[in-house]
Chains A and B, each alone.
Chain A
């Protein structure tokens, strides 16, 4: 089946405005008759819920944390991009669009990305008006910095906590609507099933995490904004509760999963230090603006970093990429770190780390300047590692950070299931095969504040929803399926813990479907995933009961879904016989070891249709048409 992205015709710059006009409108007086479910309260979910409520819809807002303010968007450090060109340094909507398409290695839709760039400016206006305390210049205007390899300064920031401040802005807008009575807040709820009635998404079944009871909710449309699936790898920079369950449950009901193998491995994280470790910590890549990355020139050099003279150090990013140096995009920096560690030149006892050295910057600018810029990050590093980065270089290594893949959506952000919309990291739409720094916050808020309010109206206006109650048989079936799965998990009473299985799965994915992949490794990993999954369902131990607050049971359900999802990730990586962005297939590289795309055969979105656990999924292709951008080899030399 060829997939239709429903991209409006006409010139690139006019598509969105034209489409907004063509979308049907819901009469203001009628909006209050329509209910919308929003699952997730991160930047995408909270901004969507708040905005839809402002428009007059009745919104049911769900999250699994105790408060919507805890969503993982809060952890984003660096900033948010926007094509304001406040710095007069050559930025424009077209440049942000172009950089995003190129950075994504030409595997994203032109129309979506252009719209994102167009909307970006409004996001900054909106957030500033909410009171987000962005960094300012002396004159009181907004400050910008260059970030993540961009050659213009288009990143807006609030110290090292931009995600937190933007999320608190969206959360405050959401809470205002709770007070007005347009949003019903349903925290500590986990979506376990999507409910389809007459082939339309009409509701969800959730587990109340406090009482353990199943609850049913019906609406005219369902929005999923539940983030990415990076925790499939167990160790990632994601929060502990991040999971694939909501999107995977929708996938099992027929929603296509797009580009699941596109994961972003962030180059600057604190290395793994023990087998008890529960998560990895990101050090903002803004550090690469002043830090120099190096390893010793010789293998297994045991000397302390200070004792290695300059001519025995390999500043490999500066050497390989003279024009971008330490600021190459994330995928390139991560692979380069892996390459030097694979050569045996990694540092630290595990040999899986490289130095990020501030000695030159401190000599040049003085310690106080570096401290002003990065003080909180240096403190954080010292807290975790007990080492002082002002005196000794940081040790860093890449870690799973973001997932570009997600549920397939069309230009309206609607999945192939009518009435099911997917926003933010949970969808696949805008970042292609590699996301640029400071673009995740932009996309989440663009989707929630400025895209979905229009497109969901178009859907609701054109699709009169039948009067369906939660007593509909489809709800009975969905609840029964969720209950049976939980009962099955509790009945196994095996020997191994949920985390134990999760770690094993994660390590397998990291080794064979992480920074570098090859056909042989992927085939063996697929078989191995099936074996781990089989053992999981025979030998996992899940304490407690279904009818209580039970965190082990919560994790067990999520890991069970990761076990199924992992196979899809591997299938996708296997099928894509090219290297692009974060997807690096060792068989497809240039002589210098750079990713080699195959535009003739793979300029498409892979959208997978579920066919049953253990049965190969069906691949649907959405061809990517580039009318404006000329496809080139990405080069940062």
Chain B
């Protein structure tokens, strides 16, 4: 079949359906032990998104009424809000590169295969239910210093501060982090260094971030440690799964910034 034919067929909703065994982590609540449960699922279209596949499975469970549908977080379903996040076949956000779980399509999976789905696993991200975890630790890290302190109404004219294209672009690359937590989920140490370093980099290289530079670095690193995230041992797993392709170089930047802050006596 040519690509054009298959496109037309797909477009006509006539694409061949796929079947899977979906093996999912079910956990009633924080204190429940939890276990993997398997569900056969037929009539999956290749052009369905991964989360739509779960919607379909949930619809079946709702209609049967024998057990509760699977809880999972998702919101924008276009890869920007950071709400969704599943470990699929052992990989955070699944097989796609530079994509979130919601941007994954069923055509990426072999017909007849078993797909395992688990939540982010980290001590700092306790499971709320099934595939839903509590990521409020990230908010508390930002709360410790992930901002430039400026009250509304006190800003000077935006063009009074010149920032080169290169610098703005570099800051943007770091600021693109969506706070999904895949970096933590993929790390054997459950380290949050990529997340923290992205925010530190974004603000510490811009002129707006200079007054609080050292204070911010130390406060955010300390908050990260308090939340129970592990240390970085240079496995680069975080970069490999990051949907926004945040680079591990930011982590070395963070280490240098931390050292500088300590030398400066902060």
Contact = CB atoms under 8 A, between A and B. Distances in A.
Decide whether A and B assemble into one complex. yes
Interface of A: 47, 50-51, 54, 65-72, 74-75, 84, 86, 122, 124-131, 133-142, 158-159, 161, 164-165, 168, 171-173, 175-176, 178-179, 185, 187, 210, 239-241, 273-274, 276-279, 281-282, 304, 348-350, 380, 383-384, 386-387, 449-450, 453, 493, 495, 497-500, 541, 543-544, 548-549, 551-552
Contact of A450 (B149, B153, B164): B153
Nearest to A69: B179
Nearest to B56: A276
A380 B78 CA distance: 9
Nearest to A448: B152
Contacts of B56: 276
A176 B149 contact: yes
Interface in B56-114: 56, 58-59, 61-63, 65, 68-69, 71, 73-83, 96, 99, 103, 105, 107
Contacts of A178: 139, 143
Given A140-B163, A499-B55, A548-B29, A126 B150 contact: yes
Contact of A175 (B143, B156, B164): B143
A172 B47 contact: no
Given A50-B152, A126-B153, A276-B52, A72 B81 contact: yes
B209 interface: yes
A164 B144 contact: no
B31 interface: no
B178 interface: yes
B229 interface: no
Interface in B13-46: 13, 29, 45
Given A274-B47, A549-B29, 7 more contacts: A69-B139, A74-B80, A129-B150, A276-B48, A348-B11, A544-B68, A549-B129
B7 interface: yes
A239 B62 contact: no
B148 interface: yes
Contacts of A551: 69, 71
A390 B40 CA distance: 38
B142 A171 contact: yes
A279 B79 CA distance: 13
B136 to A, nearest CB: 7
A131 B206 contact: yes
Interface string B162-190: 11110011011001101100000000000
Contacts of A497: 59, 62-63
B251 interface: no
B77 A140 contact: no
Contact of A383 (B82, B99, B135, B208): B99
A539 to B, nearest CB: 12
Contacts, number: 231
Given A66-B135, A131-B209, A552-B69, A386 B83 contact: no
B65 A161 contact: no
A66 B152 contact: no
Contacts of A380: 78-79, 103
B263 interface: no
A68 B13 CA distance: 38
A495 B64 CA distance: 9
A348 B4 CA distance: 12
B80 A75 contact: yes
B143 A239 contact: no
A383 to B, nearest CB: 6
A393 B188 CA distance: 44
A171 B226 CA distance: 22
Interface in B222-242: none
Contacts of B63: 495, 497, 541
A75 B206 CA distance: 24
Contact of A386 (B10, B146, B161, B175): B10
Contacts of B259: none
Contacts of A86: 159
Interface in B113-167: 128-129, 132, 134-136, 138-139, 142-159, 161-165
B192 interface: no
B217 interface: no
A136 B165 contact: yes
A277 B106 CA distance: 13
Contacts of A304: 4
Shortest 6 CB-CB distances between A and B: which pairs? A140-B162, A172-B147, A129-B155, A349-B12, A128-B158, A125-B155
A73 to B, nearest CB: 10
Nearest to B14: A349
A141 B165 CA distance: 9
A129 B148 contact: yes
B193 interface: no
Given A133-B206, A141-B159, A164-B80, A386 B152 contact: no
B13 A349 contact: yes
Given A240-B77, A549-B132, A131 B203 contact: yes
Of B8, B80, B156, chain A has the most CB atoms within 10 Å of the CB of: B80
14 contacts: A47-B152, A65-B75, A70-B83, A75-B80, A124-B158, A129-B208, A130-B148, A133-B202, A137-B165, A278-B51, A278-B77, A349-B12, A541-B63, A544-B68
B191 interface: no
A520 B32 CA distance: 55
Contact of A67 (B51, B139, B159, B209): B139
B197 interface: no
Contacts of B142: 171-172, 175
B202 A131 contact: yes
Contacts of B143: 175-176, 178-179
A67 B80 contact: no
B171 A133 contact: yes
Residue of A71, A129, A277, A349 with most chain B CB atoms under a 10 A cut-off: A129
A520 B186 CA distance: 56
Given A51-B152, A240-B75, A543-B69, A133 B172 contact: yes
B183 to A, nearest CB: 16
B175 A165 contact: yes
A132 B110 CA distance: 42
A86 B162 CA distance: 13
A381 to B, nearest CB: 11
Contacts of B77: 239-240, 278-279, 281
B62 A541 contact: yes
A580 B76 CA distance: 30
Contacts of A350: 11
A380 B80 CA distance: 12
Given A131-B203, A185-B139, A499-B55, A140 B99 contact: no
Contacts of B76: 70, 72, 74-75, 239-240
A89 B106 CA distance: 48
A164 B178 contact: yes
Given A67-B179, A278-B52, A543-B62, A349 B47 contact: no
Nearest to A139: B162
Contact of A210 (B58, B128, B169, B176): B128
Nearest to A545: B68
A342 to B, nearest CB: 20
Nearest to B139: A67
A212 to B, nearest CB: 11
A137 B107 CA distance: 41
B168 A133 contact: yes
Contacts of B172: 133, 158-159, 165
Contacts of A135: 168
A127 B148 CA distance: 10
A274 B55 CA distance: 13
A173 B68 contact: no
B43 to A, nearest CB: 9
B102 to A, nearest CB: 9
Contacts of A136: 163-165, 168
